A and B are shown apart, each in its own frame.
Chain A
């Protein structure tokens, strides 16, 4: 018998991993060639001894699940924490009243003054942040106006070049993110 198929191909034939035309050709060859048919038969016999016949114990799933911690937001934990916080606040308030701290006019006034000072500091900080933000907006307006003037004097070439550059950069960034995500999966 001539023209025996390559043994690597025979191995792939056994696993139905060849194109249909090759499967047909090798199948016809096996009908005529005892040597190749014997090789395939031997390996099929070996493969038949390798099946899924091991069973996991009945409590396997429970054993696995016991090791796991839930993902995401656990509402039970949140509710428990809220209840603890509420009880703590109520008991602290009750204790303060019980010890006469909140009923003492001078101590209450002192507490009020401290709270007012804290609020005043917070408002002063907010005012500073608002002023800073206003300055930043003004600066941005100046920059945009200057840029508009420059662009008007240069005509449509520069905006188009800028648009192309932004498009290319966005594409490259997208590719980098995709490559990073693929490498994480790998």
Chain B
């Protein structure tokens, strides 16, 4: 109990140092601290609770096993999210090989996107659950590389700067892709608006 309360007040960096000194239990505090964020991230990415739990366990195991490569100068959550996004994207790539890489030439600028100026605000009239289901379905229609940006932004509340670090993308690209992902969501939810 004493260890738990002590760990709860400790910084991520201090906990990492303790884990690397052989105190495995300190990692339990890290898991406790980030399990909700990671499970929510994976759940939104794969849209299946059981798979999301398996992936989350793998992510924490992977993080633990590479903890000696973590540099204390970096934010721990950014480092953990980076492991999580790479792991989930790898999983989705194996599961959904039909997705086209967003880095293919011509993808970024060749496809003009129609943006209607007027749009009614009817989504607010939907019952909460129905609305959520529709949004979840629309999220699943996004390519994984766009999906992760929207999930990191809205579910994990990461800043653009953090997302850029997590996904190894330039800040401007993050800004553009979040906008494009939002437009895809709007297009997918068009019938319900």
**Which positions in A face B, CB cutoff 8 Å?**
4, 7-8, 11-12, 15, 17, 35, 38-39, 41-43, 45-47, 49-57, 60-61, 63-65, 67-74, 181, 184-186
Given contacts A47-B154, A67-B57, whether A11 and B22 have CB atoms under 8 Å apart is no
Apart from A43-B182, A185-B71, list 9 A-B contacts with CB within 8 A: A11-B179, A38-B118, A47-B154, A52-B37, A54-B40, A54-B52, A57-B53, A60-B39, A185-B79
B115 at the interface (CB under 8 A from A): yes
Interface pair A17/B121, CB less than 8 Å apart:
no
Which residues does chain A contribute within 8 Å of B32, judged by CB atoms? 61
Cα–Cα distance between A5 and B64 once the two chains are bound (Å): 45
A186 to B82 alpha-carbon distance, docked (Å): 9
Q: How many residues of B sit at the interface, in one of the four size bands?
A: 35 or more
Given contacts A42-B121, A52-B36, A54-B43, contact A64 B31 (CB under 8 A): yes
Query: Given A45-B121, A185-B71, do A64 and B178 touch, yes or no (CB 8 Å)?
Result: no
Inter-chain CA distance A43–B119, complex, in Å, is: 11
Give CA–CA (A46, B142) in the complex, Å.
14
Contact, CB under 8 Å: B57 / A184: no
Q: Are A50 and B57 in contact (CB under 8 A)?
A: no
Interfacial residues of chain B within 62-84, with CB under 8 A of chain A in the complex: 64, 67-71, 74, 79
Given A50-B151, A51-B155, A52-B37, answer yes or no on A60-B124 (Cβ-Cβ < 8 Å).
no
Which residues of the other chain, B, contact A65 by a CB distance below 8 angstroms?
24-25, 27-28, 31
Task: Return A140 CB to nearest CB of chain B, in Å.
Answer: 38
Residues of chain A within 8 A (CB-CB) of B111 are: none
Q: Please tell me which one of the listed residues A8, A46, A54 contacts residue B185 in the complex, with CB atoms under 8 A apart.
A: A46
Say what secondary structure dominates the interface of chain B: helix
The distance in angstroms between the C-alpha atoms of A15 and B171, with both chains bound, is 13
Contacts of B31 in A (CB 8 A): 60-61, 64-65
Q: Which of B10-56 contact A (CB under 8 A)?
A: 19-25, 27-28, 31-32, 35-37, 39-40, 43-44, 49, 52-53, 56
Which B residues from 116 to 142 make CB contacts under 8 A with A?
Answer: 117-121, 123-124, 131-132, 135-136, 138-139
Of chain A, the residue at the smallest CB distance from B18 is: A71
Asked if B176 lies at the interface with its beta carbon under 8 angstroms from chain A, I say yes
In the complex, what residues of A have CB within 8 A of residue B169's CB?
none
- Contact mask for chain B residues 153-174; partner A; CB cutoff 8 A; 1 contact, 0 none: 1111001100000001000000
Residue from the list A7, A46, A49 in contact with B179, Cβ < 8 A: A7
Residue on B with the closest CB to A36?
B117
Cα A68 to Cα B32 in complex, Å, equals: 15
Give chain A residues whose Cβ lies under 8 Å from the Cβ of B27: 65, 68
